[in-house]
Amino acid sequence: MSYQTTLEQLKRYRNAQKEAESAAAQDFPPQKAENEVKVESTNRQRPKAQGIWLRLFNIDLLDNFAFRAWRDVYHRHPNPTIIGSLGFYLVAQLFFVWAQFGMVFFVLAALTAICLNLGQRDRDQPSAYSVFNENCERLPGQMTAEHFERDVLQRRVK
């Protein structure tokens, strides 16, 4: 497969994705609640990229009641929420150590913490992976094989 064919496929995919997003935006206009928190209103100004689960299966894993309730309490009282969450984790860790599943719980808790803190980038923000950017553009200052050859191996790049 040639480079040109890959770019054409990427362009068709992005156009289809934009059409699907605009159709979804027309089907479900955003609803505004009367008592919105200011933090949430500022987050809605710039659309976020959809996660893989939402794109593939139309499932938003972070939009269930438990996570929504935790976020609501966190926005109102951040410090007590963090202290309570850490306290709950420590009690659960002690219980699982007592049940001799402490390492399993620790690894699963660490993976969960990593996944929950990945975040999402804005639509206009470039990806760190150049194949996902428009025209496969690299980030400014990104190290490439050409830079490596020039700097480390002291070869001239044409």
According to DSSP, residue 47 is labeled P
Distance (Å, whole) CA 78 – CA 43: 17
Establish if 53 belongs to a structural domain: yes
3-state class (DSSP) for residue 149? helix
pLDDT at position 100 is 93
- Among the listed residues 54, 37, 41, 21, the one whose alpha carbon sits nearest the alpha carbon of residue 123: 21
> Taking CA 116 as the corner, what is the angle to CA 19 and CA 94, rounded to the nearest 5 degrees?
160
What pLDDT is attached to residue 36? 47
Answer yes or no: is 156 within a domain: no
pLDDT at 37: 47
Residue 54 in 3-state DSSP? helix
Report the SS3 class of residue 48. strand
CA-wise closest residue to 31 among 39, 21, 20, 40: 40
Domain interval for residue 45: 35-125
Question: Is 1 contained in some domain?
Answer: no
User: Considering the domain boundaries, does residue 76 fall inside one?
Assistant: yes
In a domain, 42, yes or no: yes
3-state DSSP helix/strand/coil % of the chain, to nearest 5: 60, 0, 35
Q: Which residues pair with 48 in a beta bridge?
A: 122
For the chain, what is the domain count?
1
Helix (H, G, I), strand (E, B) or coil at 105: helix
pLDDT of residue 43: 46
Instruction: Identify whether 15 is part of a domain.
Output: no
Q: What is the mean pLDDT of each run of 10 residues along the chain (158 residues)?
A: 72 80 64 49 48 65 78 89 93 95 94 78 76 79 80 68
> Is 21 contained in some domain?
no
- Which positions ≥6 away from 139 have C-beta within 8 Å? 126, 128, 130
- Give the per-residue pLDDT at 13: 80
In a domain, 27, yes or no: no
What per-residue confidence (pLDDT) applies to 91?
96
Q: What is the pLDDT of residue 63?
A: 72
Q: What was the pLDDT predicted at 88?
A: 94
